Amino acid sequence: SMKHLEKLTRKHLGELLLDDGLISQNQLEDAQSEQKLTGDPLGPILVDAGYISDWDLAKAVATQYQLPFLELAMFSGNSEFGDTFRPEEQAKHRFVPLDSLGSVITLAVADLPDIEFLRSVRERTGQTPFIFVTLLSEIQRHLAESGVTEPAAAARPWPPSIRRSR
């Protein structure tokens, strides 16, 4: 339910990765300053920087938010969504719409989208979003195959601190 998701989004992925020893405090701070600049999700920033693998991210998100993991490659998908989600929007929030089932709409994500985005999905579709976690690389491949180019963020030069410590 949305209430469940709203409660979960109060926890922080960065702290979890730090506690698990997957990233350092410096790496977290680098990624957080990048996030302030761009508004990109923290998880993909950490993966793009090479600090964690997309497996690390998927495992942390699925565990932290108690969400099921799905291998996107194994899912044939339902292409009858029409224009519910613009390609740029999918690229920005790093998600792939999977299916529409009655009062539920299923989305595959690499990192938990912010609650405003989830609310907007519900307002637009009249359906409650149900979230699966998948690998960032699979989402990026799916976006590329759908003709959605990578978000501009991927082409941006990194802040010096991140470039230096890579």
pLDDT 10s digits, 28-59: 999 999 999 988 889 999 999 999 999 999 99
pLDDT 10s digits, 92-128: 888 999 988 899 999 999 988 888 889 999 999 999 9
Burial of 86 (0-12, 13-18, 19+ CB in 10 A): exposed
Q: What is the pTM of this model?
A: 0.77
